[in-house]
Structure 1
């Protein structure tokens, strides 16, 4: 599909956000054809430019999140430059900001100030703890939102300690994705009604979606999950992580009876443990002893062709070889002004039928904001 035929071709997005949630959201919009203008601090730019490893003047992290965008250094506190931002916002279909609540208003760049000259604007505010309430002004990062939402303490080790999450779950699943969904819905509404909207995306609050089962159980039965003791949090031998003899691990998710029956036959679990109901801890110990007798390669060969929902925890190299991690995507990101210096970029979650597949685009150098519209 060519650029002009993409779903968001012609949509102008003014991105005032930094780091991960907002920039990843606008990257997805860009993949679908939107034109992104990103405004950053003068001089240093987005904090993520300074991360390691570097790819040219900016970090590789920044490069993959901002491929194909344009970036300009702007001092939002300078009245003249702030007024130029308002002029840009008057042209935009979408504005994304990630300040703490009230900061954009104090800068004169809040929804009311922008909507006064652009009533169709879709204005998306991504915050840690929402727009109001006692936690709203607080600084936070992904780990804080997971901790205070209750999710981090659900899975614990034998000493009752929670573990660091495998990724920045709040930033992406509760920040980026809700922002993209709501922006697309609001654009559709603006098409139909001519009215824009102010979207509020609270990462801490949106984590409730990840806790759907715990909340349903509480609403129906009044109880909250016991750390490390529920079916999906370590209390069941059918959904557990077991060590192997060579220091690797087995991820068992044989929840359904047919998978469980086949698994226990394959590994030779004593028949008295086949019915795990009421003796979950003993069955977990018995399975731990079995898996600990052989290396990961043995278990991969035994279980690989079976429908038992039980697999070896892969290394990154193994995940690439299996095809589940794509390090050779057709889209590439290059250094500004150096198209031959590039690498395969982040595999896009946007369906190939809705984006332009292939091509090399640079990440943006930080430039001075031009006098004329960058969208001209």
Structure 2
């Protein structure tokens, strides 16, 4: 049994697969097994991975062409995992050499956490630096953020395998099981990672390290590029499910998270309403009662307070005050810039109806 089993799903990802595998082999931690989960590739990806197995027996290739979506493929991987920790890695990303070591140290420091992710550098198809992906740090911040955005970058994540088994965690499934059947959902693709990490975060079992763990490659085949609007719409469905579950767990009145979401780096137009300050006070009170008061929670709430207005002048003024106290993360900056520029030609605009309790 290896200490870490790595789930690497691939379907026709030959262009970057060798570099992704080499970055695993270059880890400072050597006690691992790489499970390449082939989803019916026809471009030679499976054959490339099999050639890597010949050079390094820690690399195994498993074919699941009939798996239902990415959730089904990853669940196939979980079924064959036998490890202390299971780590995610994508076929087009590159691990930093100390990725495993940094995450294992974080698990030692945070024994109650089930999932730990981190930050990422954004690169293009040639590996050139494009920017950074910033994720919230601190268990309380990650927990609170989970109601409004995906709190963990999936390709950076590592999870405790025994805890996954104990909690019955699987991709696509409602393992919290605190809502009536008609309010439960399943998520087979597009946002299966948010559904999983969001549920763990609601339980206070997720964190992110401040270090950059991977180079995340942006290209035209990323789901975020090809099915952006669908992904944002589904993410809001998940936000509302998580909020209902959070409120049920803590005996709190339900609130609609939509006005405070920044899925995909944008703010949602909620039925044309321009001010959500009253709704913010209800939401903030619920989060303080459910998660407990902490500086990390207050940092998250300050951003959500800032975006509770949709008036451009008020938003810009609030953003200036926010920047005087905090360094905005890239998704926070993007959300404000999006709203201020949403009337420009070519800008996406996603409108939603408020959901009743």
TM-score (norm: length of structure 1): 0.25
As a proportion of its length, which structure holds more helix?
A: 2
Larger Rg over CA atoms: 1
- More relative contact order in 1 or in 2 (CA 8 Å, sep 6+)? 1
